[in-house]
Amino acid sequence: MAEEENCVFKTNGDTEAQQVKAFLAAHGIPAALRGEALRMTHGFTLDGLGVVRVCVPGPLVEKARQLLAEVESGEWSISDQSQIDPADQP
């Protein structure tokens, strides 16, 4: 697998990378996070040392990029009026 070719998103931290990974998973796209080991032990980003790449399987690259482009263009958002239905609570 050519990892760089399957990279659909880059970020400087785990929080955003985890959000992107969860978003893709919610749409049936498995993703793996790749990056420098230093980000896990020291939690810093400097000159690309903390870059996290979100990578997906080759056949799903275009679908993932399309979804992420839709997010960027504002087609996906969380409304301030979004509420949790009490019936959905355990």
Residue 29 lies in a domain: yes
pLDDT digits (tens, 9 = 90+) for 8-54: 999 887 888 899 999 999 999 999 998 865 545 555 545 556 788 99
Residue 63 lies in a domain: yes
Task: Say how far apart CA 9 and CA 16 lie, in whole Å.
Answer: 10
The enclosing domain of 44 has a CATH number of 3.30.70
Residue 88 lies in a domain: no
User: Which residue type sits at 26?
Assistant: A
Q: What is the DSSP letter of 10?
A: E
Which residues span the domain enclosing 28? 3-73
Q: At 65, which helix (H) or strand (E)? A: helix 61-72
Which pLDDT belongs to residue 58? 93
Task: Say how far apart CA 13 and CA 40 lie, in whole Å.
Answer: 10
Number of domains forming the structure of the chain: 1
